[in-house]
Amino acid sequence: MYLADAVKLKSILRKQLEQLVEEVDRIAFVDLEKGEALPTAQERTLPDVESAMDEVRRDMRTLDRLVYAANLSTMIETTEGEMPLVEAIELATQLRAKATQFQELAARPKREFQYGFEGTTVIRHALYDPDAYRIKAQEIERSAHRISNAINAANYRTEIDFDGTRYM
């Protein structure tokens, strides 16, 4: 299975576990009027659902371990050199945050009139060039996109040893 599919499968497993938890709530109790007899049989018993939950949880742990190992062992090339996927993912996240901050600085005017107390006028001066930060933000964002593209490509060429056919 490709690493990209494993990431999707993790989401599927979380959803399946949530559904099993809901099923426990549905089958663990029955509301009856006083004197009414308990039903004789259920389609699935509480132990059946608990067993299914244990299996999904075991698969989730195995999948997590394999994904984490692949994220550490798979290397990609970045402008900062070769690094494991896990580090590249964090770098892309950091670059996006930096680009957002620079975009906010770029959106501010070079001079901004503010109103002070008792009719005084205060002028806030930017101690930087907003247009230069706009350009920096674009460059950083492009770098984050390149890293994200390399991560996606690595996710589709990296395989892990997990059979997800039961879920996908």
The tens-digit pLDDT sequence of the chain (168 residues) is 999 999 999 999 999 999 999 999 999 998 899 989 888 888 899 999 999 999 999 999 999 999 999 999 999 999 899 999 999 999 999 999 999 999 999 999 999 988 777 778 888 999 999 999 999 999 999 999 999 999 999 999 999 999 999 998
| Three-state SS at 30 | coil
| Three-state SS at 160 | coil
Quote the pLDDT of residue 40: 80
Alpha carbon distance 87, 95 (integer Å): 12
Q: Which one, of 84, 55, 80, lies nearest residue 69 by Cα?
A: 84
Structure token pair of residue 154: 């690595």
Tell me the pLDDT tens digit for each residue of 144-158. Answer: 999 999 999 999 999
Alpha carbon distance 96, 146 (integer Å): 12
